[in-house]
Chains A and B, each alone.
Chain A
Amino acid sequence: MDRRGFLKAATGAAALPLGTAGLAAPALSQTAAARTLRFVPQANLANFDPIWGTQYVVRNASAMVWDLLYGVDERLEPQPQMVEKDEVSADGLTWTFRLREGLRFHDNEPVLAKDVVASIQRWMPRDPMGQMLRGIQKELVAADDRTFRWTLNKPYPKLRFALGKPGTPCCFIMPERVAKTDPFTQITEFVGSGPFRFVRNEWVPGARAAFQRFDGYQPRGDAGTWLAGAKRPMVDRVEWHVMPDAATASAALQNGEVDWWENPITDLVPTLKRNRNVSVDIADPLGNIGSFRMNHLHPPFNNVGVRRSVMMALSQEDYMRALVGDDNSLWKPLPSIFTPGTPLYTEEGGEILKGRRDLDAAKKLLAESGYKNEPVTCIVAQDQSITKTQGDVTADLLKRLGMNVDFVATDWGTTGQRRAMKNPPGQGGWSMFHTWHAGADCVNPSGQPAMRAHGDGAWFGWPTIPEVERERDRWFAATTLEEEKAAVAAMNRAAMEQVLYAPTGFFFSYQAWRRNVSGIQKGPLPFFWNVSKT
């Protein structure tokens, strides 16, 4: 018994004659505690609709509650999950999918093909791959209760990946009545067929969410990694405890009040590593990619020469050291827009970000490009440590380069609004903002809207770079790994030469857990199945 346990028992014994309820704790609650996994998420679960809101935290919680047709394994290969088998016609235009037997929703209704069709139809308008599929779709129908058929106008070799990718929004399967909700309107019923069910009446947004093991879940028979294979819930209950303060989360983990912390900040990691009851490791081998985005519509960054001069001066080491400190194992230089260590990774065209940084040469290029001292409105969200840190480094860089910096310190809510404005910087618009992308979203050109360069319809900054779009289309049509690699290399070259956006480096983040918890995987999201606690 620890000291607090002893004190509890002592105060409890003293209170017994008073008839208080303060002492119920002992054996029963200890057993229950061993069956409850207490988790501190990266952010608040403010809403719970993975299609309406595409934040990572919503995706992470949703993966417990809603299942996927396919799931990627640690090699990023899509494996059947709810699907038992699929068949594709010889011309690649007709896909027929058969669902596994025994799939049930949390209300005990069977999962039917019509539920899948409605879910796919709700997902498509919100997802870049889904939008492509909708553009080439001829027909999507339920053939019988367990079979659905998808007919396309042209082949789409990446279909399995689209349905099983981990990037938001994932194609989660919901009951038809729920999936018929407009994709831009929030659902009000949280019924899935995943290994855990959402305990709605215990949800206190901003503070707590609870998930109960779903006894009707039928895990696959094969071994599980990431979103593929068997998803076996090993605890009765998972509780999410939202802690806005990192020091509090650190202390709670050390004190055994929580079991798993998704994203300890780097400053606190040495303290956690010294605690013999706590394990610390890299959270996601696919890491994160820092970046800043320049506005291609207005001066000065509508000028590729100005964009290139900034890239030429940019030192990724400065950004990464500011973000992760002195631990060199936590970051890598990244002359690419793709995730290092993945099959399609390329540094083609990335020379501008390599080698010693030459500020004088960058200044010369800036002068030659015709920069006329226009203000650079740099909007920096101060309430996100990653964007704030990058913003500070960028402001210093631009000043040293001799640019006229208008540093706008604001919060993420305002950044989100302002970056959508296409006005010139002096009229409410902007010149640049900072962000970061999950490495899992940058393993190929499919899921990252920031990689699009089709002008007005592109992501914020609205770049028009036809070569990027052409090579992206080539990748989608590729049927061999070699073809895919060639397309991605050419796409990266175009992105670097035209400065689609500026990568500031590749970095990892940590996760930490109590040593009595086992089965935690490194991956692009926390996987709660196959995790047990003693």
Chain B
Amino acid sequence: MFAYIVRRVLATIPVMAIVALFVFSLLYIAPGDPAAVIAGDQATPDDVERIRQSLGLDRPFLVRFGEWVFRIVRGDLGVSIFTNLPVSTMIAQRVQPTLSLMVLTLILAVSIAVPMGVVAAWRQGTLVDRAVMGFAVLGFSVPVFVVGYVLAYIFALELDWLPVQGYTSLDQGFFPWLENLILPSIALGGVYIALIARITRATMLEVLQQDYIRTARAKGAGQGSILFLHALKNAAVPIVTVIGIGVALLIGGAVVTESVFAIPGLGRLTVDAILRRDYPVIQGVILLFSFVYVLVNLLIDILYTLIDPRIRY
């Protein structure tokens, strides 16, 4: 197992290298000029050119790529073209809100979606099942920003229960932290809940047809025990897989959610950086997201062995 983990961690290196090359090349060929954005609308062409030179943006691709790779292997993500702050500092400023949002959404989604899927499978064809599936269709269909606006209108503007926007750091208290994240997590969680609930239902339906379930029933096991101890445990591998895949959904959804609720997270940092062509920040954040995604997949693979003893690496 240990050897497997080491192998998988080492395998992330070429993956990250390809991502790095891809990101750098894509940004190089993409149109846009950070110098023009920095200089502002009133700047003259000469001003823009002087700024471009001072930032080293006029140098050849290979020189810039070589320098960047040299810095990356030393753990230096570079300095933002616009803010003059190290990219690592900017990421550090933004990690907590995004991580908080994603973790809370994950907890919320799993704790709602799995029981929903189990109940829907148990009550297949009934009103409960249709209601769950109807919710799943809604969750997939309604964009995150629409859910966000509706929630903010009801719970912030009309009822005045929760704030519209912002983020309070966890070190300023659990409740202020939670208060700012409830609406964004629900908004972001919708599609995730729908995805997990559907997979849970489908997998559970399959598992509930198995012989060992019939045996458990014949032995007189209770319904709860059959559903959650016998069936769910055996249905867990695809569910865990989907939860892992869904992290990519969360990363994408966080970009929109953070904008709607003005949360200063990595999603907004990414969008701002792309709009301004802040190359070092874009490269740093995408590398980080890629690394997280690779890591989550590794964790999921390891989880398989805990869930299903038949799986060994």
Contact = CB atoms under 8 A, between A and B. Distances in A.
Given A255-B157, A413-B276, A248 B172 contact: no
Contacts of A254: 157
A325 interface: no
A245 B259 contact: yes
Interface stretch (B83-91, B124-132, B211-219, B235-243): B83-91
B59 to A, nearest CB: 16
B157 to A, nearest CB: 6
A247 interface: yes
A4 B54 contact: no
Nearest to A168: B42
B147 interface: no
Contacts of B43: 54, 449
A121 interface: no
Interface residues of A, number: 70
B255 to A, nearest CB: 11
A460 B45 CA distance: 7
Contact of A244 (B39, B51, B268): B268
Contact of A206 (B38, B162, B261, B264): B264
Contacts of B53: 184
B175 A12 contact: yes
B298 interface: no
23 contacts: A2-B160, A8-B179, A12-B175, A20-B173, A22-B176, A23-B173, A23-B175, A188-B84, A204-B94, A205-B85, A206-B264, A206-B269, A207-B262, A207-B264, A243-B165, A413-B31, A413-B275, A414-B33, A417-B32, A420-B36, A449-B43, A458-B44, A459-B44
B165 A410 contact: no
Contacts of B48: 416, 420
Contacts of B268: 206-207, 244
Most chain B CB within 10 A, of A414, A441, A457, is at A414
Interface of A: 2-4, 7-8, 11-12, 15, 20-25, 44, 46-47, 52-56, 58, 126, 167-168, 182, 184-186, 188, 204-208, 241-245, 247-249, 251-252, 254-255, 257, 383, 410-420, 435, 441, 448-450, 457-460
Nearest to A167: B42
Interface string B232-270: 000000000000000000000000000111101000110
Contact of B264 (A126, A204, A245): A204
A54 B173 contact: no
A46 B83 contact: yes
Contacts of A247: 149, 260
B164 A251 contact: yes
B143 to A, nearest CB: 13
A254 B153 CA distance: 11
Interface residues of B, number: 63
Contact of A413 (B37, B85, B157, B163): B37
A37 B174 CA distance: 25
A204 B93 contact: yes
B174 A248 contact: no
A397 B153 CA distance: 39
B71 interface: no
Q: List 3 A-B pairs, minimum CB-CB distance, nearest first.
A: A416-B36, A22-B175, A207-B264
Given A21-B174, A46-B276, A411-B32, A416 B83 contact: no
Nearest to B46: A457
Contacts of B90: 205
B153 A251 contact: yes
B175 A15 contact: yes
A422 to B, nearest CB: 8
A35 to B, nearest CB: 18
A457 B51 CA distance: 16
B159 interface: yes
A53 B163 CA distance: 34
A216 B308 CA distance: 69
Nearest to B85: A205
Contacts of B82: 46-47, 53, 205
Interface in B156-199: 156-157, 159-166, 172-176, 178-179
Contact of A241 (B46, B172, B262): B262
Contact of B163 (A56, A257, A458): A257
B83 A243 contact: no
A125 to B, nearest CB: 9
Contacts of B44: 449, 457-459
A185 B50 CA distance: 9
A107 B32 CA distance: 39
B284 interface: no
Contacts of B159: 3
B301 interface: no
A168 B38 CA distance: 13
B14 interface: no
A55 B42 CA distance: 8
Given A55-B40, A205-B82, A457-B44, A257 B33 contact: no
